[in-house]
Structure formats: C-alpha cells, structure tokens
C-alpha cells in the first residue's frame, strides 16, 4: 500500500460551496420530503414578501398561487405589492445563499439568515431542472424587470439566464415563480393552514390563495395599521460571544475600552461600564485593539458578574392584545366561540436577547369538546407548523394545570383537551430555533417561564369571565323578578281587590339588597365623524371614518341606604376616549374613573363613554371596578386593587 501524504490529501481538499452543502442537506432547510418542500416554498416566499412590504411601509397584499402538474411538479407563485428589487440586486437576493440585509442587524424580523427564498430557487432547480422567474417593479411609470435565473452551486452565485422587461399594472411589487417537485395532495391542507395562521398574526396583511382548481381563498386584512417598526439595537453584553467581542474590538473606532463598551453595546452606562472593567481587572484607558485574548476572556466573564439593565425593547414589534383578539375573532367566526382572551407579557430577556410573549385563548362555540386543544405557534409573526412536540411553547402549555380552568387534562400534565384553541407568539431579535428548518423553539427557561406566566394571566381572565357570567346569570334572575314578576303580582292583586297598585320600591330594595351594575357595548359605524371645531375657532380636527364603540353602564342602588363610591372602567390602550358622561375624575391610557354622586335607594345613574380607534368587537365586554364601597354589596363590578 502506498503511503498517502498530506500533499496527496491536499489535492483532494477544496472548498465546499454552500449551495453544494445544502444540496446534500436539504432536510435541514425544510425540504426533507415533497410535502414539506411545498409548504417551505410558500412560507419562504410569503415571509419575504411580508418583510419587504413592512420595510417599505406598505400594507401587504400577498397573492399565492399553486399550479399543479400531474407528474408531481408544482409551480409556486408568490406576488406582493412591496417595493420591488432593483435589477442589480435580483441575482444576489434570489440566486445566492446567505445573502441578505437582515443577518447583521439585531432586531425582530421574519427571515434572518438570507437562506430562505434562494433555497427554494435551488430546490426547484435541483428537482425540476427549471429556472426561476422573477418579475420586479420598483416605481410607477417604469416597466417591470423580468429575470430568469439559476444558481451555480459551485460558486454560490446566480446564473442569469435571461432578462427582459414587461408591462405590469402594479405600482410596484415582486413576483416569484418557481417550479418544484412537491406533493400537492398531501401538502394542500398545510398550505391553507399556514396562510390562515399567517393571516392571524399579520392582521395588517391581505392574503389571497388560489388553488390549482381555481378556488380562491381570501384572508382579509383586519387592521389598517402597519406593525410598529422594530428598531435596530446594539448587542447586549449578556448575549455576546467571546469571538464576537474580539471581532468588535478589532473593528471599533473607539480608542479606549470604556468608550468602546459604551458606544458599541446596549445598556452600558458609565456605572456599569466602569464596574465591568473593574471586575475584569482592566484599565478604562486601554486601547481595545491592543487587548489580548486573556483580557477579552476576563472582560467577557466580568459582564456576567455585573448587573446590566435589560436591552431596550424597541427592537421588538409585538402584535398587541387587541389585534390578536381581532384576528382570532375574524378567523374563528364560523366557530362562534364563547369568548376570546389575549394577554401580552412585558418584554423580557434571555442571554442578552430581548423577547416578548403574547398568547391568546379561544374558547367554546363549535370547537370539538373531546379532542386535544389546537395550539397555534408563532415566532416573529411566522407560523410554526411542525415539531410541535419539541417546542418550548408546547412544553410550557403542558406544564400548566389546565383543569382549574375548565379543560380536561389527565393528571394535570400534557396538552389539555377541550373546546379551545391556544395561541403563542414569541417575538425576539433572535428566536432560538432547535434547527435551521425553524420549526420549533429551543428549551430556553426564560421563554418557557414567560409563556407560562402569559397563559396563567390569560387563564385568570377566563376564570374571571366565567365567574362573572355565573354571577350575572344568577342576579339577572333576581332582576327579572323585581322588574317583571313582582310588578305583575302587585298589579294583579290590586286588580282583584279593585285597589290602586301599591308602591314597590321599598320591597325591591329589600329583595335585591345590592348595588346593581349592568352594561352594554354597542358599535356605531360612522362614515365621517362630525367635524369638531376647537373652542378657539381654530382649524377643524380631521377625523377618519370608522367605528365608535359606545359603552353604557347603568348603576342602580337597590340597597336601603344611599350609596356613594368610585367607578373604574378599563379601556384598551389603543383606544381614543371620546365623549364621557358624567364627567370623569380621571382618564389614563388604561382606565376611566368616576367619583359618582350619591345614589339614593331605588335610584340609578347612567354612565356612558365612547371609544374611537377600535374595530367593531375589539372591545366587547366592560371590565368594571369599584372603590370606597363594600364589594359584597355590588353586582357587576369587582374591587379596585389600585393602578
């Protein structure tokens, strides 16, 4: 046997192109089988479109079409009204893996690694041998650019097959047509589920899905407001890797260690900077470029010993309780659920990465009572369809004892069953996925804990809701009694004896012996709100058309003594308070407070307020609290526990 030298080996050693690598490992990108390939292709296209639209401040209109050929080849078409892509960039974005603008930025976005759409192009090319066609238009009055391309897998570069121009009715947008081998029959349901779920967490997007047989599904836009733009932030010391720290120091413009830390990292003030440097045993004035590995290591260790404020959470763009509720309501219309409750947690941090949890719960209606509950999982507004079992969200849900909240769960562990849908949305600058196919979120204790807290909050609201309903039903009976039956008894007895009808008030207060608060919520559609001129006669305020939510609260004193107390009504943060009567004593972004006048026995006070800036149904139930009165006297409101 001849001896093989290192030189011989060197002849065989060469760079492996990324494209080549993925060609052999397509499963890790979500192209493991032909069903998955279909959904992944749609998903990457849609994610790309939504991201592009949002970045350009455009309310997304996404059109998805699948054409199915008998031989197992599908053509996936995704079209949007986004900003389009300049001609020069098209080959890079669609024909090159690991190319993108978002990878280096620390903020919340759907895609990050720049693998997404080009991986679909590559997959299509590998399975069908066909090229991808991209149509892009960047401004009005210019023709659209049509590019056909393939990927050179050795060089990880696009191979442009042809370019041309075409007329396109759209102002701007991008259309991608990729032929792939896929199992449409099996994947069909998942595509629908994926788009429906996407629509739930992207209430500002409109999605149209056309199936091969021509049937169109229309997922309506339920919010006209683009999500808050997430701001790019600097890395947080808790989350930075040693290597990254060294690289950052090498490239910094700062000449001194303290200014390096303060300018290149988030949450580093004078005090934290100084104490980190001190703990690391370094000098403030050290030039970061001249630091050696050991110094970096002790600095890295020192970060963990210092209490550093959490990173700013501007980089997150949660959906919000009201919008999630609205979306869920819209998508579950046919189920006509009993109630929908959503909860947003305040932002939190794991390893220096900000994240925020939002959850929702849909209960009752036509939902099956025996089956395990459906779990809708989302990460940065992207639905997660696979590997539910291996996801931290599922883990968190399974560890909650749902039996207390009216769901079935043998031994109080595992996924509960009952007529409910649970929704979890994790937003973060970095979603810690378990694998590159981005289907499950890793078991991060901080995230798990936040999800549990969110669901507990949600469940408490459920309990509160049920409790309130039961209490109301009970007292409504009494209300029937005193408003309908008792007067009838009095009338009849008077009639039989030919005497005047007796006065009932004292007996009513005797029977009820409570302060009764009842409320209704109504919606008034206004085409154009009446233009209000300011007191000083200034310019009229411009108002949009929309819905006014009117809440009417009736407070009746059925106690035998006069009552005087304070009333609070909780309002959604997004709402704009309109007319309020009587005059409130306080209005904050969360509540309206009234110091009510003395109410004499058998008398009532009407309390009204109007909310603008909400859709019909966003605010469908008053949450009322009382103060300065024994809560046991009151039906329809709970004790105010403070702000």
Find the part of the chain contacting another protein (CB under 8 A) among 295-303, 500-508, 575-583, 625-633.
500-508
Q: Is the peptide bond before 582 cis (omega within 30 degrees of 0)?
A: yes
In the DSSP assignment, the letter for residue 604 is E
Asked whether position 496 contacts another protein by CB under 8 A, the answer is yes
**Dihedral, CA of residue 435, residue 441, residue 443 and residue 449, to nearest 10:** 170
Asked if residue 334 binds another protein (CB under 8 A), the reply is: no
Task: Give least dist CB 482 to another protein, A.
Answer: 9
Task: Using the minimum distance from each CB to another protein, give the nearer residue, 466 or 481.
Answer: 481
Instruction: Examine residue 554 and tell whether it contacts another protein (CB under 8 A).
Output: no
* Among 16, 225, 442, 485, interactor with another protein by CB under 8 A: 485
Q: CB under 8 A: which stretch of 153-161, 315-323, 486-494, 524-532 binds another protein?
A: 486-494
Report residue 290 as tokens: 């001249």
- Interaction between residue 492 and another protein (CB under 8 A): yes
Q: How many residues bind another protein (CB under 8 A)?
A: 24
Residue 143 engages another protein in binding (rule: CB under 8 A): no
502 sits near another protein (criterion: CB under 8 A): yes
Specify the residue for token string 């869920």: 328
What is the C-alpha to C-alpha distance for residues 462 and 465, in angstroms, rounded to an integer? 5
- Closer Cβ to another protein, 215 or 473, answer by number: 473
Q: Determine if 493 is a binding residue for another protein (CB under 8 A).
A: yes
CB of 492 to another protein, least distance (A): 4
Q: Is 478 in the site for another protein (CB under 8 A)?
A: yes
470 touches another protein by CB under 8 A: no
Write each residue from 510 to 549 as x if it is in contact with another protein (CB under 8 A), else as -, in one continuous string.
xx--------------------------------------
In the complex, least distance from residue 485 CB atom to another protein, rounded to whole angstroms: 4
Looking at the Cβ atoms of 497 and 632, the one nearer to another protein is 497
Binding map of another protein across residues 420-459, x = CB under 8 A, - = no contact = ----------------------------------------
Contact between 494 and another protein (CB under 8 A)? yes
Question: If DSSP codes are grouped into helix, strand and coil, which group holds residue 39?
Answer: helix
Contacts of 405 (CB under 8 A, 6+ apart): 459, 462, 463
- Choosing from 490, 526, 577, 587, the residue that interacts with another protein (CB under 8 A) is 490
Which residue number, 510 or 586, has a Cβ lying nearer to another protein?
Answer: 510
Euclidean distance between the first and the last CA atom of the chain, given in angstroms as a whole number: 84
Q: Of the two residues 309 and 507, which places its CB atom closer to another protein in the complex?
A: 507
Contact residue for another protein among 488, 542, 641, 643 (CB under 8 A): 488
The full length of the chain comes to 643
Span of 278-286, 496-504, 538-546, 603-611 interacting with another protein by CB under 8 A: 496-504
Interface residue with another protein among 213, 477, 527, 643 (CB under 8 A) is: 477
By CB under 8 A, name the one of 87, 229, 247, 495 that touches another protein: 495
Q: Please, are residues 25 and 119 in contact by the beta-carbon 8 Å criterion? A: no
């997959």: which residue's tokens?
Answer: 123
Which of 86, 166, 470, 489 contacts another protein by CB under 8 A?
A: 489
**Residue burial 465-481, b: 16+ Cβ < 10 Å; e: rest:** beebeeeeeebeebbee
Rounded distance between C-alpha atoms, residue 205 and residue 63, angstroms: 11
CA distance 409 to 443: 22
Q: Is 22 exposed, middle or buried (0-12, 13-18, 19+ CB in 10 A)?
A: buried
Q: Please report how close the Cβ of residue 477 comes to another protein at its closest, in angstroms.
A: 5
Rounded CA-CA distance 601/515 in Å is 9
The nearer residue to another protein, 7 or 499, going by C-beta atoms, is 499
- At its nearest, how many Å lie between another protein and the CB of residue 559? 15
Distance CA 374, CA 416 (A): 9
Asked if 253 contacts 370 with a C-beta cutoff of 8 angstroms, the reply is no
Least distance from another protein to the Cβ atom of residue 514, Å:
14
- For residues 55 and 432, what is the distance between their CA atoms, to the nearest angstrom? 23
**CA 390 to chain centroid:** 21
Residue 600 sits in the site that holds another protein (CB under 8 A): no
Write each residue from 233 to 252 as x if it is in contact with another protein (CB under 8 A), else as -, in one continuous string. --------------------
DSSP H or E run through 609: strand 604-614
How many beta carbons lie within 10 A of that of residue 522, not counting itself? 11
Kindly state the tokens that stand for 204.
């500002």
If DSSP codes are grouped into helix, strand and coil, which group holds residue 77? strand
b/e per residue, 608-641, with b = 16+ CB within 10 A?
ebbbbbbbbbbbeebbbbbbebeeebbbbbeebe
Under the rule (CB under 8 A), what is the footprint of another protein? 477-478, 480-481, 484-486, 488-490, 492-497, 499, 502-504, 506-507, 510-511
């Amino acid at each position: 046997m001849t001896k093989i030298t290192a030189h011989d080996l060197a002849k065989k050693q060469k760079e492996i192109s990324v494209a080549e690598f993925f060609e052999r490992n397509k499963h890790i990108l979500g192209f493991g089988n032909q069903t998955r390939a279909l959904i992944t292709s749609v998903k990457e296209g849609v994610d790309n479109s939504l991201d592009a639209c949002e970045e350009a401040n455009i309310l997304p209109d996404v059109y998805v079409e699948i054409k199915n050929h008998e031989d197992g080849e599908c053509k996936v078409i995704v079209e949007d009204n986004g900003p389009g892509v300049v001609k020069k960039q098209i080959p890079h974005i669609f024909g090159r893996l690991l190319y993108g603008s978002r990878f280096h930025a620390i903020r919340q976005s759907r895609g990050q690694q720049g693998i997404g759409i080009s991986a679909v192009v590559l997959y299509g090319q590998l399975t069908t041998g066909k090229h991808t066609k991209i149509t892009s238009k960047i401004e009005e009055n210019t023709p659209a650019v049509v590019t056909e391309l393939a990927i050179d897998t050795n060089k990880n570069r696009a191979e442009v097959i042809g370019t041309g121009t075409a007329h396109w009715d759209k102002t701007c947008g991008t259309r991608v047509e990729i032929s792939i081998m896929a199992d449409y029959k099996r994947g069909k349901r998942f595509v629908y589920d994926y788009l429906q779920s996407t629509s739930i967490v992207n209430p500002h997007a409109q999605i149209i899905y056309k199936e091969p047989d021509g049937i169109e599904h229309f997922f309506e836009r339920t919010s006209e407001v683009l999500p808050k733009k997430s701001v790019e932030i600097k890395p947080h010391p808790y989350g930075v890797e040693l290597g990254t720290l060294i690289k950052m120091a090498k490239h910094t413009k700062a000449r001194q260690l303290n200014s390096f830390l303060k300018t290149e990292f988030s949450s580093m003030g004078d005090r934290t900077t100084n104490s980190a440097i001190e703990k690391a045993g370094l000098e403030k004035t050290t030039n970061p470029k001249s630091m050696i590995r050991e110094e970096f290591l002790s600095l890295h260790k020192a970060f963990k010993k210092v209490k550093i404020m959490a990173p700013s959470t501007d980089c997150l763009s949660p959906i919000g309780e009201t919008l999630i509720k609205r979306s869920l309501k819209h998508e579950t219309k046919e189920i006509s659920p009993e109630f929908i409750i959503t909860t947003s947690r305040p932002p939190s941090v794991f390893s220096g990465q900000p994240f925020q949890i939002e959850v929702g719960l849909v209960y009752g209606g036509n939902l099956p009572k025996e089956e395990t509950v459906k779990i809708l999982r989302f990460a940065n507004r992207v639905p997660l369809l696979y590997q539910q079992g291996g996801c931290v969200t599922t883990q968190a849900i399974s560890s909650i004892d749902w039996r207390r909240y009216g769901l079935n769960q043998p031994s109080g562990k595992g996924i509960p069953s009952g007529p409910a849908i649970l929704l979890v949305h994790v937003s973060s600058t970095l979603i810690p996925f378990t694998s590159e196919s981005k289907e499950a979120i890793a078991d991060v204790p901080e995230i798990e804990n936040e999800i549990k807290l969110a669901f507990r909050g949600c469940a408490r609201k459920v309990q509160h809701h049920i409790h309130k309903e039961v209490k109301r039903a009970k007292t409504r009976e009494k209300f029937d009694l005193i408003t309908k039956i008792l007067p009838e008894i009095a009338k009849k007895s008077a009639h039989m004896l030919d005497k005047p009808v007796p006065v009932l008030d004292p007996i009513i207060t005797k029977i009820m012996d409570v302060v009764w608060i009842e409320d209704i919520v109504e919606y008034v559609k206004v085409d154009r709100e009446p233009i209000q001129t300011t007191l000083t006669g200034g310019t009229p305020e411009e108002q949009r058309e929309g819905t006014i939510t009117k809440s009417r609260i009736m407070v009746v004193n059925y106690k035998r003594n006069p009552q005087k107390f304070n009333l609070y009504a909780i309002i959604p943060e997004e709402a704009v308070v309109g007319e309020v009567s009587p005059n409130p004593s306080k209005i904050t972004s969360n509540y309206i407070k009234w110091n009510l006048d003395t109410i004499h026995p058998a008398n009532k006070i009407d309390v009204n307020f109007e909310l603008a800036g909400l859709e019909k149904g966003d605010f469908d139930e008053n949450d009322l609290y009382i103060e300065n009165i024994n809560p046991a006297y009151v039906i329809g409101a709970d004790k105010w526990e403070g702000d």
